Amino acid sequence: MRWTQTLIPTLREAPQDAEINSHKLMMRAGLIMKLGGGLYTFMPAGLRSLRKVERIVREEMDRAGALEVLMPALQPREIWEQSGRYAILRDAMFKIKDRQQRDMVLGPTHEEVITDLANRQINSYRQLPKTFYQIQTKFRDEIRPRFGLMRAKEFIMKDAYSFDVSWEAADASYQAMYDAYIRIFKRCGLRTKVVEADTGAIGGDFSHEFMVLADSGEDGIVECETCAYAANLERAERKTPTGKPSTTDQLPAVVATPGKRTIEEVSSFLKVKPWDLIKTLIYIADDKPIAVLVAGHRELNEHKLTRILKVATLKLADDETIMKVTGAPVGFAGPVGLKIPIYADLELQTPRVSVTGANADDSHLINVMVERDFTVTSFHDLVIAKEGDKCPRCGVRMREKRGIEVGHVFKLGTKYSKAFDAGFLDASGNRQISIMGCYGIGVTRTLQAVIEQSFDENGIIWPMAIAPYQVDVVVPNTAHAESVRVAEELISALEARGIEVLFDDRDERPGVKFKDADLLGLPIRAVISERSLAEGKVEVKRRTEQDKQMIPIADTVAFIESIIKGELS
């Protein structure tokens, strides 16, 4: 392809709203163009890479035995009511009406549609196991679309769904997808870290996320410094710290803490450590008020609490409710005397003398002891793990990292198959419910994540497998007819071998072409100039290396081909 015939609108500067490297580079290299917040057009070169990622995904899904389908993006609201997810996801969905005023949504995911398919098409255990997949556009009304393709309102996802006769069989389907994901990301040239993940709004049993470690990642992760344990912060456990036990014979006493509401304010006012305080949070869990206690230096993990309480909705109580429940304004709630269920973090099980809110304006209680002065409904691991916490498996220190979630595998169980009566007749003729799994890859996000992991100060460094083209042929001086002639001959020979070539035939200064070559980041650059031809050679350079090699014209095709083969094997 000739540069003058395609459209690669490179930019010297990244647009203002591009915050992270990969977003800046995709814009600067002319791979994508912004239409509006979270909406991007794939330009010709960007689309080539996207199609390559899709091809890898498709090949590995097919290899794993999954069946490709294509489901409608436009879905009737009823199926979302049927699964019970309309209430949970309504704000994240684009909702529209057809001309008959029927409520429709643009699919953010497809569990409902596929389970309806399974309900209609699968009748017998003989048809199972089945894994279906599609590569399709998803729509999500994200609160904060940003970072280009990373968090878009419209994006391409590969989603797959498995149906099995038993939990054991479902484990095998899960494992097949897990293994396929490992191969997919590896083939895309991406290094990923697999972490244990929260099951969130999709619901289900257990799940893993495939993370690309990057400072710009929106997900927090902890990983053990020695064993293989790694988990999303939404999920991560920690070995419960016991701390130094303490006791007192003194009974709780009210102290005045005028205007001191936060842990920081109270601890510095009373000259105690945050650890010596107990944070009391009032939540509304499925319409009922509850109190949640964590040590003062800790943050509550709402994902864990939601899972433990098995509630559909969990939200912080508003000021009015707090006043009603505790008798005090926000900032002075405490467990002593509360008449609602109290859930406490395991760390508070160690006997300790604490400061808590007094359930009265501008006052706190000192000398509070858990279980002596109030009763805890139950203790659980309730906090967000952090750097320095001990690994739940082996007890060694954990560290915190940031990650970009590119893929997610869930063992779902029967949540959707029950709602849609997706079952089968077993060998004895009894009707049973299918066990499901679901598996997503953000295809567009994966493409950008590759760049987030592979660039330098000059531009993108594409892995061979998904580069828009494999070779960039640059003729610095297009007025030199012999250079152009040799270039064209070389390109025909390369293309005859199935190698993808971009020919920078623009009438631009050499400096511009070399800068753009680095920015676009094709894996191999071949320069043909008066100087190289004087030696009868072509200058070949890999994007990953500094050194150039002078290759005799006649050997160039074989040389380039061997580099490509080497990288793709």
Catalog residues that contact Mg ion under the rule CB under 5 A: 408
Residue 140 or 298 with smaller CB distance to ligand ATP: 140
From the CB of 415, what's the least distance to ligand ATP, in Å? 15
Cα–Cα distances in Å, from 71 out to 107, 110, 117, 132? 10, 8, 10, 11
Query: What spatial distance separates the first Cα and last Cα of the chain, rounded to whole Å?
Result: 25
- Which does residue 445 bind out of ligand ATP, Mg ion, none, counting CB within 5 to 8 angstroms by kind? ligand ATP
Residue whose Cβ sits closest to Mg ion = 408
- Which does residue 28 bind out of Mg ion, ligand ATP, none, counting CB within 5 to 8 angstroms by kind? none
> What residues line the site for ligand ATP (CB under 6 A)?
109, 140, 142, 151-152, 155, 157, 405-408, 440, 442, 444-445
| Distance, CA of 532 to CA of 530 (rounded, Å) | 6
Residue 370 or 406 with smaller CB distance to Mg ion: 406
From the CB of 163, what's the least distance to ligand ATP, in Å? 19
- Tell me whether residue 511 is exposed, middle or buried, using C-beta atoms within 10 angstroms of its C-beta: 0 to 12, 13 to 18, 19 or more: exposed
- Which does residue 173 bind out of Mg ion, ligand ATP, none, counting CB within 5 to 8 angstroms by kind? none
- Which does residue 362 bind out of ligand ATP, Mg ion, none, counting CB within 5 to 8 angstroms by kind? none
- Which does residue 414 bind out of ligand ATP, Mg ion, none, counting CB within 5 to 8 angstroms by kind? none
For residue 367, which amino acid is it?
N
From the CB of 181, what's the least distance to ligand ATP, in Å? 10
Cα R_g (the chain), whole angstroms = 29
CB atoms within 10 A of CB 243: 13
- Which does residue 217 bind out of Mg ion, ligand ATP, none, counting CB within 5 to 8 angstroms by kind? none
- Tell me whether residue 569 is exposed, middle or buried, using C-beta atoms within 10 angstroms of its C-beta: 0 to 12, 13 to 18, 19 or more: exposed
Residue whose Cβ sits closest to ligand ATP = 442
Residue 359 or 454 with smaller CB distance to ligand ATP: 454
- Tell me whether residue 543 is exposed, middle or buried, using C-beta atoms within 10 angstroms of its C-beta: 0 to 12, 13 to 18, 19 or more: buried
Residue 352 or 408 with smaller CB distance to Mg ion: 408
From the CB of 361, what's the least distance to ligand ATP, in Å? 40
- Which does residue 406 bind out of ligand ATP, Mg ion, none, counting CB within 5 to 8 angstroms by kind? ligand ATP
Residue 282 or 409 with smaller CB distance to ligand ATP: 409
Residue 138 or 408 with smaller CB distance to Mg ion: 408
For residue 561, which amino acid is it?
E
- Which does residue 157 bind out of Mg ion, ligand ATP, none, counting CB within 5 to 8 angstroms by kind? ligand ATP
| Triad 565, 470, 66: Cα angle to 5° | 70
From the CB of 232, what's the least distance to ligand ATP, in Å? 9
- Which does residue 488 bind out of Mg ion, ligand ATP, none, counting CB within 5 to 8 angstroms by kind? none
Residue 1 or 214 with smaller CB distance to ligand ATP: 214
Collapsing DSSP to helix, strand or coil, 182 comes out as helix
From the CB of 408, what's the least distance to ligand ATP, in Å? 4
From the CB of 23, what's the least distance to ligand ATP, in Å? 12
Pairing of strands 548-552, 537-542: antiparallel
Q: How many CA within 13 A on the CB side of residue 74?
A: 6
From the CB of 478, what's the least distance to ligand ATP, in Å? 40
Residue 181 or 455 with smaller CB distance to Mg ion: 181
From the CB of 405, what's the least distance to ligand ATP, in Å? 4
From the CB of 201, what's the least distance to Mg ion, in Å? 10
Residue 109 or 354 with smaller CB distance to Mg ion: 109
From the CB of 142, what's the least distance to ligand ATP, in Å? 5
Residue 212 or 224 with smaller CB distance to ligand ATP: 212
| Distance, CA of 193 to CA of 322 (rounded, Å) | 42
- Which does residue 407 bind out of Mg ion, ligand ATP, none, counting CB within 5 to 8 angstroms by kind? ligand ATP
Evaluate whether 189 touches 454 at the Cβ level (below 8 Å). yes
| Distance, CA of 147 to CA of 144 (rounded, Å) | 10
Instruction: Quote the tokens at residue 560.
Output: 């380039």
For residue 452, which amino acid is it?
E
- Which does residue 155 bind out of Mg ion, ligand ATP, none, counting CB within 5 to 8 angstroms by kind? ligand ATP
Residue 28 or 408 with smaller CB distance to Mg ion: 408
- Which does residue 115 bind out of ligand ATP, Mg ion, none, counting CB within 5 to 8 angstroms by kind? none
Residue 125 or 416 with smaller CB distance to Mg ion: 416
Residue 151 or 352 with smaller CB distance to ligand ATP: 151
Buried b (16+ CB within 10 A) or exposed e, 83-92: bebbebbeee
> Rounded to the nearest 5°, which phi and psi values hold at 63?
-60, -35
CB under 8 Å, gap of 24 or more: what pairs does 76-79 form? 76/102, 76/103, 76/104, 77/102, 77/103, 77/104, 77/105, 79/112, 79/113, 79/116
From the CB of 12, what's the least distance to ligand ATP, in Å? 27
Q: How many CA within 13 A on the CB side of residue 109?
A: 22
Closest CA to 381 of 348, 417, 414: 348
Q: Where are the alpha helices (DSSP H) in 64-188?
A: 77-83, 86-89, 111-121, 167-187
- Which does residue 142 bind out of ligand ATP, Mg ion, none, counting CB within 5 to 8 angstroms by kind? ligand ATP
Which residues touch 38 (CB under 8 Å, ≥6 apart)? 142, 145, 146, 151, 152, 153, 154
From the CB of 408, what's the least distance to Mg ion, in Å? 4
